[in-house]
């Protein structure tokens, strides 16, 4: 009787199953582990959709689950997109339009590529832009603007999640061509330029008064020097940041000692 009820799943029930898969994407990181990374979260998010796609065929459902239980790692903002793409592919596999063995060849490559893109655009650009701009606005005495900015970014992220999930669900791997046209890599680079300007603004806001241009130039030179050390691998980012902070803290004492000698 259970198989009969599963066989009677309609389009509306399948749509609700896909909706549950989308909502579960928000919990994909809860099952993180050192062996499969986010694999438990991925299969947890996909399970409602897989049950709807392979309803009435327990063997096909079991085989589908095995395709996603292995190692999986990607940026969490891309999880809805990948879940949508994989559910589209599973629908094609169930209809006999896509060979299941081919999925293993492209699944990991797609996930890792989007992971690198997410680290660059989201973690390395937009999140820093939001944090720096919020700090600068707060230090400038603004309170409503940072709140509106945070709410706007949060709403934009949810819209992006919905857009990529629906696009992946409808078009599968073809949706990646549309993402390519968005030129996210170059947009991430442009945002990093804006972050550099925001960092300059932050320095102006927090620099001790009265303003001394020689101290400012010394701080900029030190920052560029440590940035060069980090880029060339001479020292780690954490070690360079620690030295830089200590140098700023001790700079007044060094300056006083130099003035005493002169």
Residue where one domain finishes, among candidates 84, 111, 138? 111
**What is the rounded average pLDDT for all residues in the chain?**
85
> Does 12 reside within a domain?
yes
Residue with tokens 């079991």: 62
> Does 204 reside within a domain?
no
3-state secondary structure of 10: coil
Helix (H) or strand (E) segment spanning residue 134:
helix 127-139
Q: Is the peptide bond before 210 cis (omega within 30 degrees of 0)?
A: yes
CA distance 29 to 37: 9
> Does 134 reside within a domain?
no
CA distance 257 to 21: 64
3-state secondary structure of 82: helix
In this predicted structure, the answer to whether residue 2 has a pLDDT above a threshold of 50 is: no
CA distance 81 to 68: 15
CA 162, 165, 166, 168 torsion: positive or negative? positive
The closest alpha carbon to 200, from 222, 216, 218, belongs to 216
> Does 192 reside within a domain?
no
> Does 148 reside within a domain?
no
Span 69-80, pLDDT tens digits: 888 888 899 999
Span 125-173, pLDDT tens digits: 999 999 999 999 999 999 999 999 999 999 999 999 999 999 999 999 9
Which residue range is the domain that position 260 belongs to?
209-262
Residue where one domain finishes, among candidates 90, 111, 132? 111
The closest alpha carbon to 20, from 50, 61, 59, belongs to 50
Task: Say whether pTM exceeds 0.85.
Answer: no
Residue where one domain finishes, among candidates 61, 88, 111? 111
In this predicted structure, the answer to whether residue 261 has a pLDDT above a threshold of 80 is: no
CB contact at 8 A, 167 and 181: no
> Does 199 reside within a domain?
no
Q: Computed over its alpha carbons, how large is the radius of gyration of the chain?
A: 25
> Does 173 reside within a domain?
no
pLDDT band, residue 4 (cuts 50/70/90): very low
Task: State how many domains the chain has.
Answer: 2
CB contact at 8 A, 44 and 27: yes
> Does 86 reside within a domain?
yes
Span 6-47, pLDDT tens digits: 444 444 588 899 999 999 999 988 888 888 889 999 999 999
Structure tokens at 81: 């997109």
């Amino acid at each position: 009787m259970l198989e009969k009820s599963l066989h009677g799943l309609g389009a509306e029930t399948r749509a609700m199953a896909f909706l549950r898969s989308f909502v579960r994407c928000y919990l994909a990181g809860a099952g993180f582990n050192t062996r499969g990374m986010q694999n438990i979260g991925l299969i947890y998010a996909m399970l409602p959709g897989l049950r709807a796609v392979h309803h009435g065929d327990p063997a096909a459902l079991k085989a589908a689950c095995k395709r996603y239980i292995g190692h999986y790692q990607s940026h969490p903002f891309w999880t809805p997109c990948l879940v949508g793409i994989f559910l589209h592919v599973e629908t094609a596999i169930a209809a006999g339009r896509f060979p299941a063995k081919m999925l293993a060849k492209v699944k990991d490559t797609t996930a890792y590529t989007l992971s690198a893109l997410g680290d660059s655009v989201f973690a390395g650009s937009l999140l820093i832009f939001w944090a720096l701009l919020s700090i600068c606005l707060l230090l400038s005495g603004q309170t409503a603007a940072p709140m509106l900015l945070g709410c706007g970014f949060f709403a934009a992220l949810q819209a992006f999640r919905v857009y990529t999930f629906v696009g992946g669900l409808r078009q599968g791997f073809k949706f990646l061509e549309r993402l390519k046209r968005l030129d996210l890599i170059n947009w991430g680079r442009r945002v990093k330029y804006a972050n550099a300007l925001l960092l300059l603004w932050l320095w102006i806001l927090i620099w001790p008064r009265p303003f001394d241009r020689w101290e400012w130039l010394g701080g900029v030179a030190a920052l560029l020097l440590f940035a060069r050390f980090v880029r060339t691998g001479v020292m780690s980012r954490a070690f360079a940041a620690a030295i830089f902070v200590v140098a700023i803290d001790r700079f007044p004492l060094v300056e006083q000692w130099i003035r005493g000698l002169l």
